[in-house]
Amino acid sequence: MLLPATNIAVEIELNRVLPKNYQLFISRVKVSSVDEIGWKEHDADMDYQTELLATIRPELIIMLQTAASFIGPEGYDADIVKRLHDISGVPVVTTAHSIGRILKAIGAKKVAMLSPYNTDVAASAKKYYKNIHQVDIGPVEFFNITDVKRIIELGPELAERAIERLAQSKPDAIILAGGAYQIMEHIGYWEKKYGCTIVSTNQAAIWASVQACNGNEKITGNGKILELMPKG
φ/ψ of 199, rounded to 5, equals: -120, 110
Let me know whether 66 and 142 are in one domain. no
pLDDT at 117: 83
Domain boundary among 67, 95, 123: 95
User: CA 135, CA 128: separation in Å to the nearest integer?
Assistant: 9
Q: How many domains does the chain have?
A: 2
Report the amino acid identity of residue 57.
R
Q: What pLDDT is recorded for position 116?
A: 87
Query: How confident is the model over 143-154, as pLDDT tens digits?
Result: 888 777 788 888
Q: How many CA atoms lie within 13 A of 198 on its CB side?
A: 32
CATH number at residue 91: 3.40.50.12500
pLDDT digits (tens, 9 = 90+) for 60-109: 999 998 888 888 888 999 999 999 999 999 999 999 999 999 999 999 99
* Chain segment 201-230, per-residue pLDDT in tens: 999 999 999 999 999 999 999 999 999 999
Residue 101 and residue 169 in one domain? yes
Q: What is the pTM of this model?
A: 0.93
Same domain, 75 and 62: yes
Instruction: Determine the pLDDT at residue 131.
Output: 93
Give the tens place of pLDDT for each residue, 2-54: 998 888 889 989 999 999 999 999 999 988 777 778 778 888 999 999 999 99
| Domain enclosing residue 147, as ranges | 97-202
Are 181 and 162 in contact by the 8 Å Cβ rule? The answer is no
Is residue 51 situated within a structural domain? Answer: yes
For residues 160 and 176, membership in a common domain is answered with yes
Which of 74, 95, 116 marks a domain boundary?
A: 95
The domain that holds 176 is classified in CATH as 3.40.50.1860
